[in-house]
Structure 1
Amino acid sequence: MTNLELHATAPADFEGGLASLRGDCARMVPHWAAPEKVASRPVSPSLIHGVSVPATSARLLEAMPDYGN
């Protein structure tokens, strides 16, 4: 049998609302580490194989205007 102990500095309020949630997050910030930013590089099209796109998605993409060119 596991003995679970709760060590809280504030009473557990499950209906505390957004302000309570934001306060909880602010107290946890020192415990979180931000991941190192990883620069992604473009992948050569020759390395991409075995990708299948559903017909509905392909039609959706085809219908989108091309803003890149």
Structure 2
Amino acid sequence: MPNFIAPHESEASLIDLRGDCARMAPHWVVPAGKAPMPVHPSLIHGVTVPPASARLIDQMSEYGN
């Protein structure tokens, strides 16, 4: 089976991704202001997740473990 990844592309590891984020963090501006109040879970109604999105998140478990 042919390799569809172009020669100049590589898969970044989670460690590489975390390093990239750490280098970018000083460039991100956080607006001043009060944090929103948390909402109790019992007040959240009618949230639905499309099956395709749920499958996508399910396949990303390697980053959440």
TM-score (norm: length of structure 1): 0.36
Between the two structures, name the one with larger relative contact order (CA 8 Å, sep ≥ 6): 2
TM-score (norm: length of structure 2): 0.38
- The structure with the largest alpha-carbon Rg is 1
Select the structure that is richer in helix.
Answer: 2
